[in-house]
Amino acid sequence: MICQSYEPFFKTLADPTKLEIINLLSKGPLCVSIIAMKLGFEQSRVSHNLKALADLHFVTALRKGKERIYALDEKVVMPILKLIDQYVERYDKHMCKCKGIPWRRRA
Amino acid sequence: MICQSYEPFFKTLADPTKLEIINLLSKGPLCVSIIAMKLGFEQSRVSHNLKALADLHFVTALRKGKERIYALDEKVVMPILKLIDQYVERYDKHMCKCKGIPWRRRA
DNA sequence: AGGACATATGTTTTTCCAGTCATATGATTT
DNA sequence: AAATCATATGACTGGAAAAACATATGTCCT
């Protein structure tokens, strides 16, 4: 049976804002305001999106003073990146002019 | 770099209608009207969704008389199912009461 | 050719969600 | 404890996407 959870799982990955956050965090953990600054997003927007990411275990949070440091949960994110690679490898080579969001090179 | 193509790729997987179609087709190829009947969807709705699925290479179509038979492209879909399994295995065991869309059992 | 059936496609309507704005909570410092 | 900083959360809204609706295309049969 398909779990209800698949829908939010993939919806998250379909959202550019969340993908950009994932991408940024792939370089290392950061607090909310830094993420907001680096991406040029509003603080509340970042918080809302981080909450969604955390609900799905894409990221984890820990306190540090007043700040909250968010980090990727690699165990979840890496398989996703691998999946993307497989798909792109097979069908979207030509689309990889890769205008748009910056991203790591293939593993 | 993240490719633009990721967005439609995941958006497709976030859509219940498309997931239901994928699920149904996982049992075998079918024509449009049978899909519509089995899922209780309008024909145009099914066609629109199949088109989107075909554009992303999730399904393939072939003519058979006036009908069009749609089938999963297993090379694309299987890795996705595997990813879902990994994720569910890790975090969503408890959510697998699995009300909602019927789905295959784990491989 | 014309009619019937199967599917695709174009257009309108409706639904839903991401972002914004406003406010609340929580932590630190003085 | 009040002020300030960092983040979270609740309410609202505009825009996008999906479904419904209407029509076109294509195929088979007589």
Tens digit of pLDDT at every position of chain A (107 positions): 444 557 777 888 889 999 999 989 989 999 999 999 999 999 999 999 999 999 989 999 999 999 999 999 988 887 777 776 666 666 654 443 333 344 443 33
d(CA A85, CA A69): 28
In contact, B101 and A2? CB cutoff 8 Å? yes
* Burial of A54 (C-beta count, 10 Å sphere; 0-12/13-18/19+): middle
> Which domains, and CATH codes, for chain B?
6-95 (1.10.10.10)
Among all strands, which nt has the closest C1' to B33 (CA)? C6
Instruction: Indicate if CB(B17) is under 7 A from strand C.
Output: no
Q: How far is B44 from chain A (nearest CA, A)?
A: 23
Instruction: Indicate if CB(A39) is under 7 A from strand D.
Output: no
Gap from A89 CA to C22 C1', in Å? 46
